[in-house]
Structure 1
């Protein structure tokens, strides 16, 4: 499993830090795992699934 830090998540999703945390607060974005101290990381597969779901929503519209 590959873990992504916040700058990588921001680059892959084209979302800002605040947008990511806002979506997480709404339950609409994957939550990170605490991997030590103050370090959080997201599972790459969860981010890829989230992106795929956004693309599927676009196709359905």
Structure 2
């Protein structure tokens, strides 16, 4: 069995909001522009949406790298 930290996780908005520095409406604008990972339906036919923790992690790492690159220019 995999370590519990290796199992893919879906994060609900409240968890995502604790990680990212943006408002919900801004995140949805970024999603519409293709600049932020799309949420995934948690249940087929349902309304609940979650974001893969790995997608949020990758997004934040890319944001950090672009900020660091901008600092060095």
- Taking structure 2 as the reference length, the TM-score comes to 0.79
Alpha-carbon distance in structure 2 between the residues aligned to 1:11 and 1:54:
16
Structure 2 unmatched runs, 5+: 1-7
Q: For this pair of structures, how many residues does the alignment match?
A: 61
Radius of gyration: which is bigger? 2
Structure 1 unmatched runs, 5+: none
Q: Which has the higher contact order (CA 8 A, sep 6+)?
A: 1
Counterpart of 1:14 in structure 2 is: 21
Q: CA RMSD in A?
A: 0.7
- Taking structure 1 as the reference length, the TM-score comes to 0.94
Q: Does 1:26 align with 2:25?
A: no
